[in-house]
């Protein structure tokens, strides 16, 4: 009987370990892109809200260039309806009094760059939307990395291929993210391009053609509040320096590996219908914004392969809202483990005895004799 009890406890420990290990496993992403073309989102009055090649689902949100928040209410094929909810205020994240011409010094901070979709390309420049194993999105990443280096940052532009461009691409790129996080980067960016019409992304900055940028935040993320505030801070800083460069923030039903680190952001630079030179220019402009919001004390903790990453340090100096992590992830994991142990043990005792009273009796007997044996053995050793 004692062996049976020990076997039960071992099973419960195994179950607890299984639950903990799930924190390192990728969330099961639903479809992240439409299979062909793009989705057009209109408000209830028939005005165009935005267009994107990303998959759109009811409950998704979009914050446009003017910080107006829309919630997707219905999706039918390649069209969707959105309802205006409120106007978002970024003043607490980025006060207008902050001098954007006096950025903080990077002091050799590491910024990591990778590409989940390494085949993405720009049709006007490359003649096709995708090039397996050698998408020109990698060159846009080079432009981003080069400008960051000029600004004094260390960069790690990882060009690991994650082809094919399918539903499992984020599972493959997850291994890349975990490897990058071992170097404790201050920020990590997954660089993409959208597949919306060029008109959604065309912009001129300082008289030169460029492309707009879309920030994407995944809802399947225990750090959602922190990551969301981080994205808002990025947009606010970009608006202060290059108004119109960031077209908005899309909050989608996806994970995008952002659960691994709260300062991981997916960045869409232009669309397949823009030329790559314009995208390169925007990547460099986006790099110019980074010193405005990435303060020197924001180095992120490394990812752990077998546990959820730690929340950002309370002293992290991105913004007051980001510095405080209100996500109850670790506490919930602990409660879940304890609950699983209690429920599993109770279920075993009930099934093995056939009654609650007998289960209670055996549990009391177990506590009395098993722990008594432990204490008696300790006395003998003394």
Instruction: State residue 195 phi and psi, 5-degree precision.
Output: -130, 30
The DSSP 8-state label assigned to residue 23 in this structure reads G
- Can you tell me the mean pLDDT for 118-139? 96
pLDDT above 60: residue 209: yes
Tokens for 159, please give them: 């060009």
47 and 13 in one domain? no
Last residue within a domain, chosen from 301, 327, 353: 327
The residue segments making up the domain with residue 142 are 39-327
- Can you tell me the mean pLDDT for 98-111? 62
- Can you tell me the mean pLDDT for 72-83? 95
241 to 101, 102, 191, 205, 340: CA distances (angstroms)? 8, 11, 21, 11, 51
296 and 191 in one domain? yes
- The SS3 assignment for 69 reads strand
pLDDT for res 268: 98
95 and 149 in one domain? yes
186 and 56 in one domain? yes
Cβ partners under 8 Å of residue 203, min gap 6? 209, 210, 211, 212, 244, 245, 282
Over residues 269-291, the pLDDT tens digits come to 999 999 999 999 999 999 999 99
361 and 238 in one domain? no
- Can you tell me the mean pLDDT for 95-116? 68
Taking all residues of the chain, what is their mean pLDDT, rounded to a whole number?
78
Element (H, E) at 80: strand 79-87
What is the domain-level CATH number for residue 239? 3.40.630.40
Long-range contacts of 316-320 (CB under 8 A, 24+ apart): 318/230, 318/233, 318/263, 318/293, 318/294, 319/93, 319/94, 319/229, 319/230, 319/233, 319/293, 320/92
Name the least confident of 4-18, 80-94, 95-109: 4-18
143 and 205 in one domain? yes
According to DSSP, the residues that pair with 52 across neighbouring strands are: 39
271 and 165 in one domain? yes
Confidence band of 35 (pLDDT split at 50, 70, 90): low
257 and 361 in one domain? no
Instruction: State residue 95 phi and psi, 5-degree precision.
Output: -60, 145
- Can you tell me the mean pLDDT for 126-132? 94
Over residues 53-67, the pLDDT tens digits come to 999 999 999 999 999
Cβ partners under 8 Å of residue 253, min gap 6? 30, 55, 57, 59, 60, 218, 219, 220
88 and 178 in one domain? yes
pLDDT for res 173: 96
Q: What percent of the chain has pLDDT over 70?
A: 64
Domain count of the fold of the chain: 2
Whether 314 is covered by a domain: the verdict is yes
Q: Strands of 110-114's sheet, edge to edge?
A: 48-52, 39-43, 79-87, 68-76, 61-64, 246-252, 213-218, 264-271, 187-194, 110-114, 154-157
For residue 291, how many C-alpha atoms fall within 13 Å in the half-sphere facing its CB?
21
Whether 273 is covered by a domain: the verdict is yes
């Amino acid at each position: 009987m004692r062996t049976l009890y020990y076997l039960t406890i071992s099973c419960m420990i195994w179950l607890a370990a299984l639950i903990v290990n799930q924190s390192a496993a990728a969330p099961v992403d639903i479809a992240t892109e439409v299979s062909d073309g793009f989705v057009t989102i209109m408000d209830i009055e028939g005005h165009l809200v935005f267009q994107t090649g990303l998959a759109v689902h009811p409950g998704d949100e979009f914050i446009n260039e003017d910080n107006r928040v829309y919630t997707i209410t219905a999706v039918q094929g390649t069209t969707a309806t959105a309802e205006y909810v409120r106007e978002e205020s970024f003043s607490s994240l980025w006060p207008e009094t902050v001098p954007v011409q006096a950025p903080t010094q990077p002091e050799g901070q590491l910024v990591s760059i990778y590409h989940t979709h390494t085949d993405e390309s720009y049709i006007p420049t490359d003649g096709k939307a995708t090039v397996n194993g050698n998408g020109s999105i990698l060159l846009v990443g080079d432009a981003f990395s080069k400008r960051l280096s000029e600004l004094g940052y260390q960069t790690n532009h990882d060009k690991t291929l994650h082809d094919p461009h399918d539903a499992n691409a984020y599972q493959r790129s997850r291994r890349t993210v975990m490897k990058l996080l071992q170097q404790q980067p201050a920020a990590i960016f997954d660089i993409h391009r959208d597949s919306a019409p060029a008109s959604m992304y065309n912009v001129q900055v300082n008289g030169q053609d460029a492309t707009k940028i879309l920030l994407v935040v995944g809802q399947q993320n225990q750090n959602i509040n922190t990551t969301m505030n981080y994205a808002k801070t990025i947009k606010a800083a970009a608006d202060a320096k290059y108004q119109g460069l960031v077209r908005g923030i899309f909050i989608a039903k996806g994970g995008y590996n952002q659960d691994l680190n709260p300062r991981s952001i997916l960045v869409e630079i232009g669309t397949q219908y823009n030329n790559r030179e314009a995208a390169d220019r925007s990547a460099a402009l986006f790099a110019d914004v980074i010193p405005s919001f990435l303060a020197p004390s924001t180095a992120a903790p490394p990812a752990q392969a077998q546990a959820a990453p730690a929340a950002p340090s309370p002293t992290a100096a991105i913004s007051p809202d980001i510095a405080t992590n209100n996500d109850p992830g670790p506490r919930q994991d602990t409660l879940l483990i304890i609950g699983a142990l209690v429920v599993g043990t109770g279920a075993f005792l009930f099934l093995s005895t056939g009654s609650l009273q007998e289960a209670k009796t055996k549990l009391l007997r177990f506590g009395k004799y098993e722990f008594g044996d432990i204490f008696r053995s300790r006395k003998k050793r003394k």
